[in-house]
Structure 1
Amino acid sequence: MSDELPPPVASPARNSFLPAKSWQHFVAGGLGGMCGAIVTSPFDVVKTRLQSSLYQEHHAKLSVPGGATVAVRKPGGLLWNFVETAHIIRDIYRDESPRALFKGLGPTLVGVIPARSINFFTYGNGKQLIATHFNHGEENSYVHLTAAALAGIVTGTATNPIWVVKTRLQLEREHHHGRAPGSWAMITRILREEGVRGFYKGLSASYLGVTEGTIQWTLYERLKKLTRNVEGKGGAGEWFGMLGSAGTAKCVASLITYPHEVLRTRLRQPLVDGKVKYTGLVQTFRLVLAEEGAKALYGGLSAHLMRVVPNAAVMYSIYEGVLSWGESR
């Protein structure tokens, strides 16, 4: 009998394309996006209305006795934008209902969960694959930038129809009376009046918005690394550093790229008297500038920042938490 040991049994080959536990990015991103969307939904409704020309036309005039209307001149300045946001939330709560502050939340959740899942999955795994195959296994800002751009394109293409429905629902009160339609009724209406192409309105602006996600991810990774070096690994200091990194990255990215949000909302507006006012990205940009000025490209900015900064903090904290939990198991 030979004293030689039998050769070890070969273990099944691990999938070399995706990193181990790649599904965690998918689950963590979806969970983080869901929680952030619920918490900040009222600001999303306000932001959409402020971005829309339909809302601005409706509130640009004030009714006076006798049926006449007079133009309303609103104060300017950044501080007024935050005051206006609070007023709109109050008016929606008083004139429509508390439930109206969560208009479009259904489509938002239907969109946010897969959007964030796809985005975090594509980015989290993409940066590892890009680093492994093109940068000798090391991550840097170029790797983060490429992965973020890829994640933005994939996410925007996959979820654009959901955001069209959400935008239409949030603008519904401005031109329809009575009970607002639900998501399925809105889908049916868009399909009947505009066809399948109607669900892809604003897609060009979404692609333009890829720059926001690219800036956000790249800056977040950089700030997270800096705060980790300052605070050291582990503990509450690193956690708060991560929250600050997420909020700061989103704030900076939003300020730089915000006009695409307004253009996208205008492109997704419903038909007015059976006509389409905004037909393309360049045409919308020129028309907004001509009719309303450059200031209109920042309509709803205060509500947007009040929503996306805490949203990013909540979303990234849950994302990082789920990944940390997965690594410890």
Structure 2
Amino acid sequence: MSLSSNGRNPLAGVKYEHLVAGVFGGVASTLILHPLDLLKIRFAVSDGSSAAKPHYTGLTQAMCQIFRHEGIRGLYRGVTPNVWGAGSAWGLYFLFYNTIKSWFQSGNSKVHIGPGLHMVAAAEAGILTLVMTNPIWVVKTRLCLQYSDGAGGKVLQESHRYNGMVDAFVKTYKYEGVRGLYKGFVPGIFGVSHGALQFMAYEEMKAHYNKYRSLPIDAKLTTAEYLVFASLSKLFAAVTTYPYQVLRARMQDQHAHYDNLRHCIRETWRYEGVVGFYRGMSPYLVHVMPNICLVFLIYETVAGSS
């Protein structure tokens, strides 16, 4: 279903409180939980093939090793682009998603559009958001993977040593061009299915729960109910689509080189098997469950009070 098939203006349902609410949720959750996100990325790219990457045996050991070699600052490497990325990504995602969903509902929030259209709205919102934010995620990933010399045992060449977010943007573009800023974009497109599954599950659970209570589908829920539905929908999407995040992180890793996505998949399978596609799953779940609860709770609170 295209955005112009019924002749309505797709911008008619734009409500900027969704943008503001998403930004607040993304920024707050990122500032609190960034160290867990950093651990997820480092575990995801840890394939044992490079001396430039430290070896971690578990979450606690990894946290202690990073703190010992890099200090508290090491646990917050990449936090600036992560805050910018999470804030803009969640803000844009909620804005696009609710605008598209409102268009499908013809402006009536009490209309239940069903799981199919929920997935379409989430997928379209995800693609639009990814196009606008992928360069931020490349920079964030590279800053998270900029180990201290003591942690990695190898000094990086100048083109891969970054002094901060702006320097990382400039050097990535200078040495790799626009293509460098869009590394990981293809697995990111596959990752759109993650958001689509998550939002479909979240919306359907809310709708069916309110129908069970004989209330309109857009009726407000309690804090505990929002948290339960956000957690369950995220868990469902995470377990289903996690491998794309490993592939995306590896293609964005400045310490590795893959010709394309197929090469990355083949090498991961060749050396690590199925396990390789789920590296970093534990810190990911530890990070993402409280993260998504904070994002959705703050979003529903801010959007609902607007």
Name the TM-score, length of structure 2 as normaliser. 0.85
Please say if 1:220 is aligned against 2:202. yes
Aligned partner of 1:245 in structure 2 is 229
Instruction: Work out the CA distance in 2 between the residues paired with 1:55 and 1:128.
Output: 48
Please say if 1:182 is aligned against 2:164. yes
Please say if 1:150 is aligned against 2:124. yes
Aligned partner of 1:67 in structure 2 is none
| Larger radius of gyration between Structure 1 and Structure 2 | 1
Letter matched to residue 154 of structure 1: L
Aligned partner of 1:91 in structure 2 is 65
Q: Is the 8 A contact 2:134 2:181 kept in 1?
A: yes
Q: 2:190 aligns with which of 173, 193, 208?
A: 208
Give the drift of 1:92: 1.3
Deviates more, 1:249-258 or 1:87-96: 87-96
Q: Is the 8 A contact 1:216 1:250 kept in 2?
A: yes
Please say if 1:27 is aligned against 2:20. yes
Aligned partner of 1:281 in structure 2 is 261
Which stretches of structure 1, 4 residues or more, deviate above 6 A after TM superposition? 59-62, 231-237
Instruction: Work out the CA distance in 2 between the residues paired with 1:268 and 1:181.
Output: 18
Instruction: Work out the CA distance in 2 between the residues paired with 1:278 and 1:186.
Output: 20
Q: 1:191 aligns with which of 173, 176, 181?
A: 173
Aligned partner of 1:66 in structure 2 is none
Give the drift of 1:158: 0.8
Compared with structure 1, are the counterparts of its residues 236 and 98 closer, same or farther at alpha carbon in structure 2 (3 Å cutoff)?
A: farther
Structure-to-structure mapping, 1:1-329, within 5 angstroms = 17-19=10-12, 22-53=15-46, 57-58=50-51, 84-132=58-106, 138-173=112-147, 174=152, 175-176=154-155, 181-229=163-211, 238-270=222-254, 277-326=257-306
Compared with structure 1, are the counterparts of its residues 198 and 61 closer, same or farther at alpha carbon in structure 2 (3 Å cutoff)?
A: closer
Compared with structure 1, are the counterparts of its residues 242 and 61 closer, same or farther at alpha carbon in structure 2 (3 Å cutoff)?
A: closer
How many residues are paired up? 288
SS state of the match for residue 244, structure 1?
A: helix
Q: Is the 8 A contact 1:231 1:237 kept in 2?
A: no
Instruction: Work out the CA distance in 2 between the residues paired with 1:251 and 1:36.
Output: 17
Instruction: Work out the CA distance in 2 between the residues paired with 1:221 and 1:161.
Output: 29
Alpha-carbon deviations, 1:185-224, whole Å to 9, x = none? 2222212221221000000010000000000000011122
Q: What is the RMSD of the two structures over their aligned residues, measured on CA atoms?
A: 3.0
Alpha-carbon deviations, 1:225-262, whole Å to 9, x = none? 34445678799973211111111111110110000000
Query: Percent identity over the alignment?
Result: 31
Compared with structure 1, are the counterparts of its residues 34 and 61 closer, same or farther at alpha carbon in structure 2 (3 Å cutoff)?
A: closer
Name the TM-score, length of structure 1 as normaliser. 0.79
Letter matched to residue 297 of structure 1: F
Instruction: Work out the CA distance in 2 between the residues paired with 1:86 and 1:231.
Output: 44
Compared with structure 1, are the counterparts of its residues 25 and 33 closer, same or farther at alpha carbon in structure 2 (3 Å cutoff)?
A: same
SS state of the match for residue 97, structure 1?
A: helix
Give the drift of 1:303: 0.6
Give the drift of 1:138: 4.2
Instruction: Work out the CA distance in 1 between the residues paired with 2:179 and 2:50.
Output: 27
Letter matched to residue 293 of structure 2: A
Gaps of 5+ in 1: 1-14, 63-71, 75-83
Gaps of 5+ in 2: 1-7
Instruction: Work out the CA distance in 1 between the residues paired with 2:214 and 2:183.
Output: 46
Instruction: Work out the CA distance in 1 between the residues paired with 2:131 and 2:305.
Output: 31
Instruction: Work out the CA distance in 2 between the residues paired with 1:49 and 1:16.
Output: 44
Letter matched to residue 292 of structure 1: E
Deviates more, 1:52-61 or 1:148-157: 52-61
Aligned partner of 1:7 in structure 2 is none
